[in-house]
Structures are given as structure tokens and as C-alpha cells.
Amino acid sequence: MCVRESIRDTSTTRFSTTANFSRFNFSGVNLNFFSYGPRRFNRPDGVPRSRHYARRMAEKTGDRPGQRYGHVCLAYDDPVAFETAARDFLAEGAAAGERIWYIAPEAPRGWDFRPELIRLGDHYPEGSVIDPEQGLEAYAAATRRALADGYSGLRVAAEATPLVRTPAQLDAFARYEHLVDRYMRTHPFSALCAFDRTELGAAVDELACLHPESDAPFRLFAPPPALGDAGLAGDLDEATRGLFARALDRAELRPAAGDLVIDGEELAFIDHNSLLDLDEYARRHGVTAVLRTRLWSPGHLADLLELTALRVEGGR
Amino acid sequence: MRTGAAAGHPGYFHAAVEYDSDDDLLEVTVPFLLDGVANGEPSIVAFGERTAGLVRAALPAGSGVEFLAGGDMYARPSAAIRAYRKLLERHVAAGAGQIRIIGEMPVSAFGNTWDWWARYESAINHAYDDFPLWSMCAYDSRITPGEVLADVARTHPRYAVGGGRHVDSPGYVEPRLYLSENRPPVPDPLQDGPPTVSLTGPTPAEARRAVHAADRGRLPAAHVDDLVVAVSETVTNASRYGRPPVHLRVWAGDDRIVVTVTDAGPGPKNPFAGLLPTTEAATGGRGLWITHQACDHVAAWTGVEGWTIRLVAGNPVIPRD
């Protein structure tokens, strides 16, 4: 009976669907990131998977451990949530000697540090469709300038809702998000991209799922190059099938060499249709995809489905 | 070109052998296999250790008969169908005019999990019918329960009776009819108690979390992962093809997790659903087939709440009193 009660308690906790902006302390280093209770699964030993992953990434890449990915998507319902998240995100950058940009209609109030206030139209082609390559180059140039000016990097919090109001804007911006994500893995640039969920509705997931840190059901992102050509985290099932297909299309994944390696260390679940879609994606692009995961079921499913363009490694 | 009793028979020639002595078994088995070899037909035995030993000893050295590990072949019905179909495809591709197989299920299949093996015995009349297969399913009447033998009679079109002769099984029922019968499984004792987790109208993601929440860490991670796949597929199907409300109930035991998913609809129309992969896109058939591959026992039935499918990961065998 006790066990039942405790399981009930656990389930109640894990069924919470409220996204919290949480502060964690890993190995004595402050880490800010969004915690999405039900969307971040813990390992059987109770240690958050993300904690293992942060350590593994740091081991493999020598990254600054305080910076997990540095690319966060905030889909907010209340503008106050953006201002609060931006403050925490940018405060870390200020402490680390980075140039910090706050891209929003108005200056923030009550902060104990002053970011540079940038108007959306000063940096983005507001009102038109972004060119992904040009958008990337604009931030690459700004990052180079920040370094030339003596900063350790560039950190941006941007309220970007006006840039994705039409389907064409959203599609181009999603493609741009993945390019920027890839750039961030190897350059001292980080960003918090905020979108108003009350205005964009479910479309916000199309952007959020291309950020390594977001409350999208799954995330397709650029991992540190040593870990693979793409990272896949979260839950992929029937509900995300269309979203996954669009994300794959927009990310335009290409192998650095040989097989297309997908790091699924943080994958919580992938259903058979999503595996079939991944297999088909690889075949269409003339590559063999390799999905690396700690889950057992994807390997079992790949065997059952006799996939030929997707190989699953893992189950441990 | 087919030989022996199956000569001229199109498709699958499916027979049962009910024996009550080792001599009886050998009297049917040995000529069946040796005639097959003599006619250049792949001749295969899928028996357990004891009976395989008997047959081996009765065959001449270098007989050409192939032995499979029967216990491995009969772990899960849908997996057995998949494995046998692959084996048959290989032999046909290599030019076999007929394939002969004699198999025997382990005694452990005759308890509370017999229901899905009975469905297997019925379904294979259809599942292997596109192959020139002559197979015999051996049942030792000394150790096989009467209710199992009754299902054997209903799922096999004929009996092999020695001397190369066959007699029709008067109780045989066409698989579509047999598989459409409502067959509630033996209740698992865990189901007598309140569920560890109970949800109404869960999303597949919530259902997956419910299984993880109920898991006490006593099953290997691979089994839990596979159960999570099965539950996710089942709840997806219930939501897409069933009728609300959908109820998910999970019971965690010492050596198994039992899950039921109930919806108010009538269940799948295809009587082979789960046992055979389907090419019909809009039926959830592939998900149900994966579910049957991923669990250690699956049963489905219609009751007062609607259609229920029960999944077991871990040890599904309930000890007899």
C-alpha cells in the first residue's frame, strides 16, 4: 500500500504540466535552464538525464559547463515571463563579460544591470521574410564585433513574435533558427528567443522544437560536433509526426562525414512511425542515419520494421 | 511439386498430432521427415529438448533433417509467425516445392497464456497459406490439458494419425470465425486489487509516463521500454480508432506489470490484427502487431465497458493452484 501511495505521489509530480524556470546548481556551477517536469525524464537512478548529458558534453567538448547549449526558446503567455527569463539569461552573460543585447520594444525595468537595448527592426528585416543565411551572417558579424570590442562573446534575448506572423516568415525563421543553433555550438554566441504563444498558438512549437532548450514535445538541434550531426531529445509520437517532418525538412541535416549521426542521448521516446519517417528521410537524402540512444525500444522497433536507411545503436 | 498427403493441396496443409506415447509420436514423425528428405524437401523439427532427443535418436545418422530450438521459436505468437514466414520465404526462394515442419509448444504455453497460442494455431491457417507448407503440431495428450486439446481440435483442419493417414477434424472452425469469438483471458490476480495508476482519456505521452511511474524497477529496462512502446501504441489506437472514454489501468507486481486499455468501441474489425502485420494504413494494425511483439502476453476481449486489451510485461504465467 505504501508503495502504491508513493507511486501515486511520484506520478502526480511527474504529471505536472507547468513549465518552470528553474535554477539548478551542477557541480558548484550555476546553470539556468528551463525545467519541463514531464518532458525531461530522469534516469532510473533518479539523476536528471540533462545532468549526465551536461557532464558528458563538457567532457567531450571542453565547453564552459555553465553554458549548456545557450539556445533557449521561451513560448510565453505573459510578457512578464519573457522579461524575467531574459533578465536571468542575460545576467549570466553580463557576469561572464559578454556583450548583452535585449531586443524588445521597451527597456526592461528594475534590472541591476543594463543591457544594450536593440529594436527588432535594427537587427532583423521586420515586416519581410528573413533570409536564413543572411540572418546567420548578421549574428556572426555581431559576434565578431563583440569579440573585437573586448567582450567574451555575444548574448541576446529577443522578443521575436513580429518576425513570424505569416507562414512564409515562420518557415524561413525556423530554417534560420537551426542555422544559428549550429553556429552557437562552435562560437561564443547564445540567445533566448521568445515568442508570444497567445498570438502564435500551436505554431510556436514549430520554432520551439528547433531549439535544444524549449518546452516543445521534442527538440531537434545541433549537438557539439563530437557528439553527432544532430541531436534529438524529448518525445516523438503520433502527435508530433507532422511537426517532426517539418523540423527535419527545415534542419536540412547533412552528415559531416559518412553516416548521419543523430545523438539521441536525451530521447525519452520515439514511436515506430517516427522511426519510419527518419528512415525515409535518410533514404531520400541518400545517407544512412545512425540513431544513438540509451533506450532499448528503438533498436527493437528498427529490427521489427526492417529499416534499411536507419541504424539504431544503444539500449544500455 | 508437393509430395505425400499434401500432394495437390494448394497452400498450407496444417495437421495436429495428438499422441499418448513416445512410440506414437515417432510413428508419425519419423516417416514424415524421412519422406520429406527423400523427396528433396526441407524437413524441419521444432521440438523441445526431450522430444527432439527422441526424434534424433530414431533418425539415421546424417538424415538431413534440420532441428530448430522449439522453445525459442515459441516465445511470442506474432514473433513465431514472423520467424516462420521468413524461414518459409527463404526455402521457397531456394526452390523448395514443399517444406515440412513438425513443431511442439512448450508445456508452459498450456496455462493461462494458452489463449494467445490458440489464436496463433488458428491464425496460421491463414498466415502460412501462401506457402507450400505441410506442418504438424504435436500435442502430448498425457500432459496437455483438456481445454487446450479442445482448441487444438477447433484450430487444426485435420489430424495426422499414423501410417501416413490423416482424418479431418470435425470441430475445425475457420480462423476468421474462431478469432472473432469473444475470449476474455484468465484474470491476473493483480487485477483483483486497485490499479497502481488509473487514468481516463490519457494522451499517449501521459500513458507512457503512467507506466514509468508504476515501474518499481524490478523488470529489466528493456522490458519496460518495450511495454511503454506497446502502451503508447495501444492508447494511440484507442484514441484514433476506438470510442471515448479511454481508460488506462496499470498494476505493478513483483515480476510483472499488467496494463489494460479500454475504449467504448467494438475493437478492431480485422480478426488477425496483432498477429499479422497489416498493410492497411488506417486501422492501427501495425501498432497492434508491434504491441504483440513487445509484450509477454496480450489478450483482448469485449465486456461491459467496451473493448479491452490487456498487456503483460515480465512473467505472465499465473501458477496453478
Residue B274 resides in a domain? yes
For residues A310 and A282, is the Cβ–Cβ distance under 8 A? Answer: yes
Cα A254 to Cα A259, A273, B129, distances in angstroms: 9, 22, 45
- How high does pLDDT run on average in chain A? 82
Q: Which of B103, B11, B122, B115 shows the shortest CA–CA distance to B55?
A: B103
Structure confidence by residue, pLDDT tens digits, A65-111: 334 789 999 999 999 999 999 999 999 999 999 999 999 999 999 99
Residue B12 resides in a domain? yes
More confident residue, A61 or B282: B282
Q: Which residues of A touch B229 (CB under 8 A)?
A: 271-272, 297, 300-301
For residues A269 and A235, is the Cβ–Cβ distance under 8 A? Answer: yes
User: Are B115 and B172 in a shared domain?
Assistant: yes
For residue A316, is pLDDT > 70?
Answer: no
Most B CBs within 10 A among A2, A205, A269, A306, hence the mutation to make, goes to A269
Domain residue limits at B130: 4-179
Q: What's the pTM? A: 0.86
For chain A, the residues whose C-beta falls within 8 A of a C-beta of chain B are 3-4, 7-8, 10-11, 14-15, 38, 41, 44, 217, 235, 237-239, 269, 271-272, 295-297, 300-301, 304, 315
User: Are B34 and B173 in a shared domain?
Assistant: yes
User: Are B69 and B142 in a shared domain?
Assistant: yes
Residue B84 resides in a domain? yes
- pLDDT at site A69: 86
User: Are B51 and B107 in a shared domain?
Assistant: yes
Please indicate whether, in this complex, the C-beta atoms of B232 and A296 are within 8 angstroms of each other. no
Please indicate whether, in this complex, the C-beta atoms of B209 and A14 are within 8 angstroms of each other. yes
Residue B320 resides in a domain? no
Where a domain ends, among B179, B207, B228? B179
CA–CA separation, B188 and A126 (whole Å): 63
More confident residue, A28 or B302: B302
User: Are B35 and B171 in a shared domain?
Assistant: yes
CA–CA separation, A235 and A192 (whole Å): 22
Output b/e per residue, A288-312; b: 16+ Cβ within 10 A: bbbbbbbbbbbbbbbebbebebbbb
Residue B184 resides in a domain? no
Where a domain ends, among B149, B179, B209? B179
For residues B59 and B35, is the Cβ–Cβ distance under 8 A? Answer: no
Please indicate whether, in this complex, the C-beta atoms of A14 and B294 are within 8 angstroms of each other. no
Out of A239, A301, A304, name the one closest to residue B204 (CB).
Answer: A239
For residues A224 and A71, is the Cβ–Cβ distance under 8 A? Answer: no
- pLDDT at site B316: 95
User: pLDDT tier at B252 (50, 70, 90 boundaries)?
Assistant: very high
Structure confidence by residue, pLDDT tens digits, B125-176: 999 999 999 999 999 999 999 999 999 999 999 999 988 899 999 999 999 9
Residue B117 resides in a domain? yes
User: Are B171 and B296 in a shared domain?
Assistant: no
More confident residue, B321 or B145: B145
Q: What is the CA radius of gyration of chain B?
A: 21
**What CATH number does residue B252 fall under?**
3.30.565.10
For residue A270, is pLDDT > 50?
Answer: yes
- The ipTM (two decimal places) reads 0.92
User: pLDDT tier at B81 (50, 70, 90 boundaries)?
Assistant: very high
- pLDDT at site A36: 24
Residue B319 resides in a domain? no
User: Are B90 and B59 in a shared domain?
Assistant: yes
User: Are B105 and B162 in a shared domain?
Assistant: yes
User: Are B218 and B297 in a shared domain?
Assistant: yes
Please indicate whether, in this complex, the C-beta atoms of B226 and A297 are within 8 angstroms of each other. yes
Residue B321 resides in a domain? no
User: Are B214 and B97 in a shared domain?
Assistant: no
Out of B203, B240, B293, name the one closest to residue A304 (CB).
Answer: B293
For residue A62, is pLDDT > 90?
Answer: no
In chain A, the residue whose alpha carbon lies closest to the alpha carbon of B195 is A4
User: Are B240 and B166 in a shared domain?
Assistant: no
Please indicate whether, in this complex, the C-beta atoms of A269 and B287 are within 8 angstroms of each other. no
- pLDDT at site A63: 43
For residue A133, is pLDDT > 60?
Answer: yes
Residue A7 Cα, gap to closest chain B Cα (Å): 6
CA–CA separation, A43 and A215 (whole Å): 19
Percent of residues, chain B, with pLDDT higher than 70: 97
Cα B186 to Cα B113, B139, B178, B183, distances in angstroms: 8, 22, 18, 9
- Segment B259-282 shows an average pLDDT of 87
Give chain B's domain count. Answer: 2
Structure confidence by residue, pLDDT tens digits, A210-262: 999 999 999 999 999 999 999 999 999 999 999 999 999 999 999 988 999 99
CA–CA separation, B262 and A205 (whole Å): 31
3-state DSSP assignment of residue A149:
coil
- pLDDT at site A29: 26
- Segment A1-27 shows an average pLDDT of 29
User: Are B116 and B160 in a shared domain?
Assistant: yes
- pLDDT at site B163: 87
**What CATH number does residue B112 fall under?**
3.40.50.300
- pLDDT at site B73: 72
Q: In this complex, is the C-beta atom of B218 within 8 Å of any C-beta atom belonging to chain A?
A: no
- pLDDT at site A43: 33
Residue A305 Cα, gap to closest chain B Cα (Å): 9
For residue A310, is pLDDT > 50?
Answer: yes
User: pLDDT tier at A278 (50, 70, 90 boundaries)?
Assistant: very high
